[in-house]
Amino acid sequence: MLSALKSLIPGAEQWPRFVRNRSEQFEARFSMVEVLRSPSLFFANMQGSRLPIAVSHGEGRAEFSSETQQHACLAQQQVAMRFIDNNGEVATRYPVNPNGSPLGLSAVTSLDGRVTAIMPHPERVFRVVQNSWYPPTTDRYSGWMRMFRNARRWVG
């Protein structure tokens, strides 16, 4: 929905639109993502984090209107998160990239970082018990809880 409203969001002009997954089907699974350097208030101090995340969507493939738009989005650090494979490399192929987005794109943010569109679902895995596996010595919360604490801190 946010990508459809990008004309109303300052600093979102380079965002892609999100269309049907390349697989032509609803995708639901755990995938790995990496948080990139971006102005997103949600991902403050999370750059470089590699975390499992729940994927659950049928229309998550980013489609840019041109290569210029895609490069501008990347150059302006508006790509906030991307799918990665088991080696930490950008996931470009199915099923590691469940929607077929270029650059493994899974989240974009506005230039000022106040609006972030995220395709996977961090809200479904913010507690460690929501994950399929976790080390027995971990905290109650997964790394995704930081995203929600960042948002709360920003609000004041």
All domains of the chain in start order, with CATH? 3-125 (3.40.50.880)
pTM of the model: 0.93
pLDDT digits (tens, 9 = 90+) for 41-69: 999 999 999 999 999 999 999 999 999 99
pLDDT of residue 50: 97
101 vs 134: which has the higher pLDDT: 101
pLDDT of residue 75: 96
Which DSSP state fits 69?
A: H
Rounded-to-integer distance, Cα 53 and Cα 110, Å: 22
Q: How confident is the model at residue 2 (pLDDT cuts 50, 70, 90)?
A: confident
Of 107, 112, 146, 108, nearest to 126 by C-alpha is 146
Phi, psi of 154, rounded to the nearest 5 degrees? -65, -40
Exposed (0-12), middle (13-18) or buried (19+): which is 21, by Cβ within 10 Å? buried
pLDDT of residue 89: 97
pLDDT digits (tens, 9 = 90+) for 112-152: 999 999 999 999 999 999 988 888 877 899 999 999 999 99
Whether residue 104 is predicted with pLDDT greater than 80 in this model: the reply is yes
Phi, psi of 23, rounded to the nearest 5 degrees? -70, -10
Rounded-to-integer distance, Cα 66 and Cα 140, Å: 43
